[in-house]
Amino acid sequence: MVTGQLRDAVYHGKKAASSSVGEKDNSETFLQLSAKKEQLRKKKKEQEEREREQKRIVMEEKIQEWLQMKMKQEKQDYLIKLSKEEEEIQRQLEKQRQTEQKAQQKYKVWLQKKNQEKIELEKKEKEAAALKEAQERERHKRAEEKFKDWLAKTNEKSRASPKSPCYPTGPYDTSRASPSFYNPIPWKPIHVPPQEITPNKTSAKKLQKQQKCQQSPSTAFRLMNCASAAQRR
């Protein structure tokens, strides 16, 4: 019985020892597995981080590339727009310059035309004034010549007629000779310079009668009769 107990004890001891060794091996294996898992996890995490970083770098590079391309495109668009605006401004300036040039040319043509018209008008006015003046001088000359001829003929007739008083019966008698000349030009009174007044009343009366007789060319014949009548007095 003791032997059996001893045998059981040895058996149980061995079993316990083998159990403790197995537990120790299992613990070591678990720790190794855990460490390996942790290493794998860390490696995986590091790999994931590297991949994420790589993706981030690639994304940033793409973003930078896109931004550069966008900026380049915007710059090109801005330069194109600026060039078009500059072309439009130049076109408007050229159009304005051409318009001003045409306006200046039209103004020059208009001014030359007006100056030419003014010169021609002044020339015509001068010619008309000169012609009118020449006609007026000719008319006065003819009238003066005709009047001188008529006066000479009247004086000849008065010398041939007998002497008679100026007014035999009155100032309104028909003894006045009818004029043989009619001057169409309105008669202007002949300017007689003033003469010195003398105390002689007879000379003053003669002067008054002579001035009265010289008021119109129709009284030229009466002037001679008045003078002869005054001499008789």
pLDDT recorded at residue 198: 53
More confident residue, 71 or 32: 71
Taking all residues of the chain, what is their mean pLDDT, rounded to a whole number? 75
Give pTM, 2 decimals.
Answer: 0.35
d(CA 40, CA 33): 10
Q: What is the CA radius of gyration of the chain?
A: 74
- What would the two tokens of residue 83 be? 């060039």
| Tens digits of residue pLDDT in 147-173 | 989 988 888 877 765 555 444 444 444
More confident residue, 96 or 170: 96
- What would the two tokens of residue 152 be? 């000479």
pLDDT recorded at residue 135: 92
- What would the two tokens of residue 89 be? 């401004």
Rounded to whole angstroms, the maximal C-alpha distance in the chain is 232
d(CA 233, CA 223): 15
pLDDT category at 13 given cuts 50, 70, 90 is low
**Percent of the chain with pLDDT strictly greater than 90:** 36
Phi/psi class of residue 170: alpha, beta or left (left: φ > 0; alpha: ψ in -120 to 50)?
left
Mean pLDDT calculated for residue range 30-42: 84
d(CA 212, CA 225): 13
d(CA 152, CA 2): 216
| Tens digits of residue pLDDT in 1-11 | 545 565 666 56
Contacts of 175 (CB under 8 A, 6+ apart): 164, 167, 168, 169
DSSP secondary structure letters along 159-190:
HHSPP--S-SS-TTSTTSPPPS----SPP-PP
- Cα distances (angstroms) measured from residue 173 to each of 9, 165, 166, 167, 177: 212, 12, 10, 7, 11
| Tens digits of residue pLDDT in 107-154 | 999 999 999 999 999 999 999 999 999 999 999 999 999 998 998 888
